[in-house]
Amino acid sequence: MAFPAGFGWRAAASAYQVEGGWDADGKGPSVWDTFTHQGRERVFKNQTGDVACGSYTLWEEDLKCIKQLGLTHYRFSLSWSRLLPDGTTGFINQKGIDYYNKIIDDLLKNGVAPIVTLFHFDLPQALEDRGGWLSETIVESFDNYARFCFSTFGDRVKQWITINEPNIFSLMAYEFGSFPPGVPHPGTKGYQAAHNLIKAHARSWHSYDSLFRKEQKGKVSLAIFAAWVEPADPNSVSDQEAAKRAMAFQLDFFAKPIFIDGDYPGAVKSQIALMSKKQGYPVSRLPEFTEEEKRMIKGTADFFAVQYYTTRLVKYQESKRGELGFLQDVEVEIFTDPSWTSLSWIYMVPWGIRKLLKYIKDTYNSPVIYITENGFPQGDTSSLDDTQRWEYFRQTFQELFKAIQIDEVNLQVYCAWSLLDNFEWCQGYSSRFGLFHVDFEDPARPRVPYTSAKQYAKIIQNNGLEGPL
């Protein structure tokens, strides 16, 4: 089962989750530094990313892991506040530039191409203090930061992700308040943040396109999270419609403006307008793009980056009158099939990724697709033998092969989450997605390969699975 020649095999990490060095060498505080230092049991056992995997000082150890796997590409994110401590180019931290220059140069020396994410949830606290993603000013702040990064690193970085999972981020940070700034605003601020995230992405794409693309010849997109969604009762019209709404609200909400026409899906606009009217709002709680903004947003991606972890079943659930919230707007109940195996919030449904890829192909005119994250947590955190977890990876690769060969999906990249066990946001260090085990009790933070790492290295070496499908 050989994948197409030149297929990209990758693994990923993000700055706050692995680097540590939270205040080292002039780095400014990020919202996650503030959030975790407040305690309040917002994170498992009040754990923080102050040290994490120690990658700020142990980059060479990460590089050994990357070489051991034989990766073609490595995806990592830049810490905005390590480069620009107050979020602006008014003060530039040279030590931060030096750190990322070393990563990029070391990767290239070893034949590994960097794919760089500009924003992976860790906004500089100074910008949060000025309104963060709820303020229209963030669009210009992000564009200035993006231009700085393109100018500084773009001579060597040819693939960029502007924003990681804007749909998850806007919900967790501003709808539920589980991520910093930590204040829930059901049914309102999540949409406002999403609106600014889309505009910030589009602005930065245009900056790359007009100022850097000709010379640097790179590609820019954003990475959207998507679960696959099935109707609980395939014969129920209301459940079928609920599944369509769920896909519209989680994936198409961001993808349609960027890949199709610059505007939100009709189903999303009409649904939120209807619910807003029922609740006595004079206008929809969903902000509107101007015609000029729609023209700016349309077509601002050079590939379709998607992040899949799991599948859910949905059925129609009428919202109670006056109850505000994202799920209330979608009017769905979400659940799982009792036959599915679960590890934490992830249910193992490998066939869901094939269906999702086919949906993207059919809905978005057969784009080039990168899977920029996919993975599974290790169930037994005391063991390096994760044979069961590897079986889920293996089944996933089988489904990807079918998507390419049978469904003719133009999939060009697979990126495993994650290179290392790391700080998994609110789950702290209790959830281990790494291909390499990290001992967080040992100050040296040793990296040791799980069985999955050894098996993934074979997949990369063979450019696919051995044996028939």
pTM: 0.98
447: three-class secondary structure by DSSP? strand
Q: What is the pLDDT of residue 381?
A: 78
Task: For residue 43, give both structure tokens.
Answer: 């994170």
Give the bridge partners for 307, in sequence order. Answer: 225, 373
pLDDT tens digit at each of 469 positions of the chain: 899 999 999 999 999 999 999 999 999 999 999 999 998 889 999 999 999 999 999 999 999 999 999 999 999 999 999 999 999 999 999 999 999 999 999 999 999 999 999 999 999 999 999 999 999 999 999 999 999 999 999 999 999 999 999 999 999 999 999 999 999 999 999 999 999 999 999 999 999 999 999 999 999 999 999 999 999 999 999 999 999 999 999 999 999 999 999 999 999 999 999 999 999 999 999 999 999 999 999 999 999 999 999 999 999 999 987 789 999 999 999 999 999 998 878 999 999 999 999 999 999 999 999 999 999 999 887 899 999 999 999 999 999 999 999 999 999 999 999 999 999 999 999 999 999 999 999 999 999 999 999 999 999 999 999 866 5
Query: What single-letter amino acid sits at 363?
Result: T
SS3 of residue 420 by DSSP:
strand
Catalytic residues: 165, 373
In this structure, what token pair is assigned to residue 22? Answer: 């939270």
Under a CB-based contact definition with an 8 Å cutoff, are residues 223 and 163 in contact?
Answer: yes
Query: Is the peptide bond between 236 and the residue preceding it cis, with omega within 30 degrees of 0?
Result: no
Q: Which of 161, 123, 120, 114 is nearest to 141 (CA)?
A: 123
Whether omega before 350 lies within 30 degrees of 0, making that bond cis, reads no
Taking each continuous run of H as one helix and of E as one strand, the counts in the chain are 18, 15
Q: Specify the pLDDT at position 355.
A: 98
What is the CA 413 to chain-centroid distance, rounded?
15
CB 384 within 8 A of CB 345: no
